[in-house]
A and B are shown apart, each in its own frame.
Chain A
Amino acid sequence: MSQEQPETLLVMDADAIRKAIRRIAHEIVERNTDLSRLVIAGIPTRGVEVAKRILDHIEQIEGVRPEFGVVDVAMHRDDLRRRGRLTAVVPTELPVDLDDRVIVLVDDVLFTGRSCRAALDAISSFGRPARVQYAVLVDRGHRELPIRADYVGKNVPTALEEKIRVRFENLDSVPDSVRVVRPVKP
């Protein structure tokens, strides 16, 4: 008997991802007049990649490149015992003085909202930014906390047991894609 492969459904291809990120870049520029105060900060691993691409687009659109940042959430989660495996901890990179800054936090998928909560905690241990906004490539629903995104690439309604698989060519050596993965029925 052959092992049954989980069913996957392509919801965004490379072109759709590029257009969604470009639209998010336009919306960020529209809402934030002072780009010199802006920090686009990704949540590892793929949120960092989305953040870099947003920065590329903003630079193309406006001719200036806002500051880049990384916000580690692994050490700010408090569910170490409940997780099956550890995620790598990476250094957080944020500007020294956050006081007048606007941080756009970037992640690939918004699901329970717990990563965002952990990222907000991480940011607050560095300082007090003027404002924090939240951008995600995919919002799949099923929030467990009162959190919403300011910028959304695509809303993808999912069942709880489904997964969202985001792949980027430069990280994963397969074409850019977002897929819904349905588990194999027993």
Chain B
Amino acid sequence: MSGWTRKDLLGLDELSAEELRIILDTAKAFKGVGERSLKKVPALRGHTMVNFFVEPSTRTRTSFELAAMRLSADVVNISATASSLQKGESLKDTALNLEALRADIIVLRHSSAGASRFLAERLQASIINAGDGAHEHPTQGLLDIFTMIEKRGSLEGAEVAIIGDILFSRVARSNIYALNKLGAKVTLVGPSTLVPKAFEKLGVKVAHRIDDILETADVVNLLRIQHERQRKEYFPGIGEYIKLFGLTKARAERLKPGCLIMHPGPINRGVEIDSDVADGDQSVILEQVTNGLAVRMAVLYLCAGGVGLPS
């Protein structure tokens, strides 16, 4: 497999369509491991992975941890509150210490965009970006796309609507970059404060009413309203948001029969999506979680076998 040489996964913007396909194909093979009676392979035996989460997370951290365990790697978890960052140690010094302990792979979640690149350029270890500020969350983007391709066969010409808080969303950015490369047509939907027209420069359409995309979308990917990142001036208020952008039962009935309903979680039931819709037939929200494990196994496997930064 000559196409994969990277030691790090920092974002989907920098990957070629071929590299994206290599990850997705590898993930397909690793998904089968979860269906065996013995759900473990020795590929990363002797490797040590550190989950370094400076921002809170349950599903991403657990997913990476399980992925590493299924590959037979050893795993250490560090959270911000339990680390020396609290004592004023810099990110770089903490990371150098992790490397001195011979960590082979560092999975980093950080509130600053570019934090994972900063480490990748300074450490021998493989760095996997598990979300850096509002920049990228590549494994979430990959698992979304893996799920779409698994359900639809191809993304060529597919109408994908991403709905909600695009401005602050690293999930949206990773999705946009990869969807564009794989031939999908992306429409971003949300209030103009959270979906500024400037996004059209990325080669996507922008709409300000969910009703505009209901009849045409093949996939609707609903983003969580990130209450922790919102400031009043950006956000119209929950009631108004639901009225204009919530995927209510009535709206869900207007979707095409095969349209996939996706959400990266955690769901705000009754805000982005009605409870009945989240649990309905078109929802693939829990399959996204299962696929996330396969995608992360693929990323860990490929990066552990990769050979240094591309020049």
Contact = CB atoms under 8 A, between A and B. Distances in A.
Contacts of B39: 125
A80 to B, nearest CB: 5
B36 A76 contact: no
B37 A90 contact: no
A88 B38 contact: no
A128 to B, nearest CB: 9
Contact of A76 (B41, B302, B305): B41
Given A75-B29, A80-B304, A124-B38, A85 B1 contact: yes
A77 B71 CA distance: 11
Interface string A65-106: 000000010111110110101111111100000000000000
Given A125-B36, A125-B40, A125-B41, A88 B25 contact: yes
Contacts of B33: 75, 125
Nearest to A72: B29
B32 interface: yes
Contacts of A85: 1-2, 305
A91 B29 CA distance: 4
Interface in B1-52: 1-2, 4, 22, 25-26, 28-33, 36-47
Contacts, number: 72
Contact of A125 (B1, B28, B38): B38
B301 interface: yes
Interface residues of A, number: 23
A92 B43 contact: no
A75 B30 contact: yes
Given A85-B1, A88-B1, A78 B25 contact: no
Interface string B292-308: 00000010011011100
A121 B42 contact: yes
B277 to A, nearest CB: 32
A92 B302 CA distance: 18
Contacts of B45: 78
B28 A78 contact: no
A124 B4 CA distance: 29
B37 A76 contact: no
Chain B CB count within 10 A is highest, among A80, A85, A92, for A80
Interface of B: 1-2, 4, 22, 25-26, 28-33, 36-47, 71-72, 298, 301-302, 304-306
8 contacts: A76-B43, A78-B72, A80-B304, A85-B305, A86-B1, A86-B301, A90-B29, A124-B38
